[in-house]
């Protein structure tokens, strides 16, 4: 790394001629940052960056994205390598601890997670408060938030042991809660987790087995699910992770913070996009209708957007979409699904969009959500559960980032300021004197 210390940016007020030196903090890779922490004290001015397009909210060592090159690294390891050669439990260990585990560390980690997959029996009653047709993300927000009412022995965020116990509990219980949300929605009995199954296998077992018959794990499907979990595990300071960090910065307990992250992920511009992609493909209905929808996506007067396309950071192919595209074909081939019309529409939509000057100029490429929904649908997961699966995968990223924030000595409560353009002060007018 070149010697970047002592670099500064000079800011000059062109009305007073006064200059301010802003230090540059060097990154190990990617953009350096201009440290504006003293800007308000020195200049009586705030920076202004709605949507945080040019703002670094924190220092992190967990995930790195190069949007122009389409690069995604978890603790320095390329996502395609991890998806091909690792598994989700090992990736969770890597994200949480920063290093790939030894064989002994991996076995202990998997054992500890496995033996936390059951829920307190009382929690089952929370589901009954929801209508059966409640969106499963609403159930996830409620039940995950309720965990803070059950696990008082791991909510002291200043205690690293408490934090890790809470992190393990969240990682272990999310698949169980997600599968219960699904079973509740279809009126089937909850399925208890099994300690002899791997994480992804256990999730599929809790989702699809029932008391009336034996459930056979399909290794191709469970491998695809494990790969999908890896691909969705973390993604730098996205909206839901930033939500978890902001909630955690006030000292809120980890269960409440993850519930806040689930709520943010639910939005169709974020994790809800995988559900929106399937709904969009079904709305398009036939390859011949694609040009109409491409035209709508380009029409400034039309709020329609091509779901699964575009990204705040990636201005190239989302590397996760490339891996998912292959997994999509593997799953469909394994299941003998050769006539999936939605996949035909998706492939033709991708081909047309990538040749269209509007999408090329705006650097709108397929993102992680473009293919995941087709795989989930092929596995038999209902569209309303797609974002729930995303939240199961992303929980490890949320808790890793949450732990990193709390351990950061420079950490303060997040409290952004604003550009105020409202009324500048007026006297109250009693009702009797108003027109
Ligand atoms: C995820 O942050 C993360 O890392 C998120 C995520 C993760 O792993 O956590 O990667 C997961 O959320 C992926 C994104 C899933 N969302 C979607 O697929 C929804 C559709 N995509 C868009 O809503 C949009 O692309 C966003 C929200 C993803 C990004 O929006 P930005 O960065 O705020 O960009 P923008 O809205 O300012 O768009 C820039 C231009 C605009 O046109 P102009 O105003 O410049 O003329 O591109 C256009 C937009 O109108 N545009 C699109 C488009 N996305 C952007 N036009 C049509 N279709 C689209 N999908």
Question: pLDDT digit string (tens) for 113-130?
Answer: 999 999 999 999 999 999
Kindly report the average pLDDT of the chain as a whole number. 94
pLDDT, mean of residues 323-348: 88
What is the pLDDT, as a whole number, of residue 329? 85
402 in Cβ contact with 244 (< 8 Å): yes
CB atoms within 10 A of CB 107: 12
Give pLDDT tens digits for 377-399: 999 999 999 999 999 999 999 99
Kindly indicate the confidence band of residue 2, based on its pLDDT and cuts at 50, 70 and 90.
Answer: very low
Overall size of the chain counted in residues:
435
State the pLDDT confidence band at 4, using cuts at 50, 70 and 90.
Answer: low
165-207: pLDDT as tens digits: 999 999 999 999 999 999 999 999 999 999 999 999 999 999 9
Residue of the nearest CA to atom 13 in ligand 1?
Answer: 270
Catalytic: which of 162, 311, 318, 356? 311
| CA 267, 268, 274, 279 torsion-angle sign | positive
Q: Are 398 and 241 in contact (CB under 8 A)?
A: yes
The verdict on the CB of residue 238 being under 6 Å from ligand 1 is yes
Atom of ligand 1 nearest to the CA of 232: 8
Give the integer Cα–Cα distance in Å for 306 and 316: 16
Rounded to 5°, angle at Cα 202 from 201 and 205: 85
**Atom of ligand 1 lying closest to residue 241 CA:** 9
pLDDT surpassing 70 at residue 374: yes
352 token code pair: 């047309």
DSSP line for 205-262: HHHH-BTTBPPPP-HHHHHHHHHHHHHTS--SS-HHHHHHHHHHHTT--HHHHHHHHH
> Could you confirm whether 116 is annotated as catalytic?
no
Task: Identify the band that residue 316 occupies on the pLDDT scale cut at 50, 70 and 90.
Answer: confident
| Cα–Cα dist 184/178, whole Å | 10
Question: How many C-beta atoms surround the C-beta of residue 241 within 10 A?
Answer: 27
87 is catalytic: no
Chain centre distance of CA 36: 28
Cα(339) to centroid of ligand 1, in Å?
Answer: 30
pLDDT tens-digit map of 62-106: 999 999 999 999 999 999 999 999 999 999 999 999 999 999 999
Number of H helices, E strands in the chain: 18, 6
Q: Which three-class secondary structure state does DSSP give residue 54?
A: coil
* Residue 365: closest CA among 319, 315, 400: 315
Q: Is the CB of residue 362 below 6 angstroms from any atom belonging to ligand 1? A: yes
Which atom, in ligand 1's list, is nearest to the CA of 370? 18
Query: What pLDDT does residue 328 have?
Result: 87
By C-alpha distance, which of 237, 228, 164, 231 is closest to 377? Answer: 228
Cβ neighbours of residue 272 closer than 8 Å, sequence gap 6 or more? 137, 265, 266, 387
Measured distance CA(175)–CA(391) in Å, rounded = 9
What pTM value is reported for the model? Answer: 0.94
Assign 196 to helix, strand or coil: coil
Closest Cα to atom 47, ligand 1: which residue?
362
Residue 351 beta carbon below 6 angstroms from any ligand 1 atom: no
Query: Quick one: which of 204, 210, 144, 149 has its CA closest to 177?
Result: 144
Query: Tokens 């210390």 belong to which residue?
Result: 5
- What distances in angstroms separate CA 223 from CA 7, 85, 114, 172, one per listed residue? 48, 11, 18, 18
How far apart CA 109 and CA 113 sit, in angstroms, is 6
């Amino acid at each position: 790394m070149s010697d970047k210390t002592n670099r500064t940016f000079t800011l000059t007020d062109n009305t007073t001629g006064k200059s301010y030196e802003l230090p540059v903090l060097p990154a190990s890779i990617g953009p350096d940052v201009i440290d504006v922490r003293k800007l308000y004290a020195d200049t009586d001015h705030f920076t202004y960056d709605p949507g945080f397009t040019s703002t670094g909210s924190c220092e992190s060592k967990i995930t790195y994205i190069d949007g122009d090159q389409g690069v995604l690294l978890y603790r320095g390891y390329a996502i395609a390598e991890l998806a091909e050669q690792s598994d989700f439990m090992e990736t969770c260990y890597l994200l949480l601890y920063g290093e790939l585990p030894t064989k002994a560390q991996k076995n202990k980690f998997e054992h500890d997670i496995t033996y936390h997959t059951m829920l307190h029996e009382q929690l089952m009653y929370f589901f009954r408060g929801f209508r059966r047709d409640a969106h499963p993300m609403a159930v996830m927000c409620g039940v995950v938030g309720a965990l803070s009412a059950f696990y008082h022995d791991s909510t002291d965020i200043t205690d690293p042991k408490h934090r890790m116990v809470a992190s393990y509990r969240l990682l272990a219980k999310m698949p169980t809660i997600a599968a219960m949300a699904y079973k509740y929605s279809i009126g089937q009995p909850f399925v208890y987790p099994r300690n002899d199954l791997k994480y992804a296998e256990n999730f599929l077992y809790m989702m699809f087995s029932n008391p009336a018959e034996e459930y056979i794990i399909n290794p191709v499907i469970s491998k695809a699910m494990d790969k999908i979990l890896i691909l969705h595990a973390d993604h730098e300071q996205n909206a839901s992770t930033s939500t978890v960090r902001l909630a955690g910065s006030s000292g809120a307990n980890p269960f409440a913070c993850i519930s806040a992250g689930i709520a943010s992920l639910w939005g169709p511009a974020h994790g809800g996009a995988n559900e929106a992609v399937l709904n969009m493909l079904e709305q398009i209905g036939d390859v011949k209708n694609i040009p109409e929808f491409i035209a709508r996506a380009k029409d400034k007067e039309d709020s329609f957007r091509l779901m699964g396309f575009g990204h705040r950071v990636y201005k190239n192919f989302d590397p996760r979409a490339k891996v998912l595209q292959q997994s999509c074909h593997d799953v469909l081939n394994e299941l003998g699904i050769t006539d999936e019309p939605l996949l035909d529409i998706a492939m033709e939509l991708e081909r047309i969009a990538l040749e269209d000057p509007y999408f090329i100029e705006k650097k709108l490429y397929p993102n992680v959500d473009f293919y995941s929904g087709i795989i989930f649908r092929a596995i038999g997961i209902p569209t309303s559960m797609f974002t729930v699966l995303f939240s199961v995968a992303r929980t490890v990223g949320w808790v890793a980032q949450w732990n990193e924030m709390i351990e950061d000595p420079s950490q303060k409560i997040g409290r952004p300021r604003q550009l105020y353009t409202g009324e500048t002060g007026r006297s109250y007018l009693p009702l009797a004197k108003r027109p």
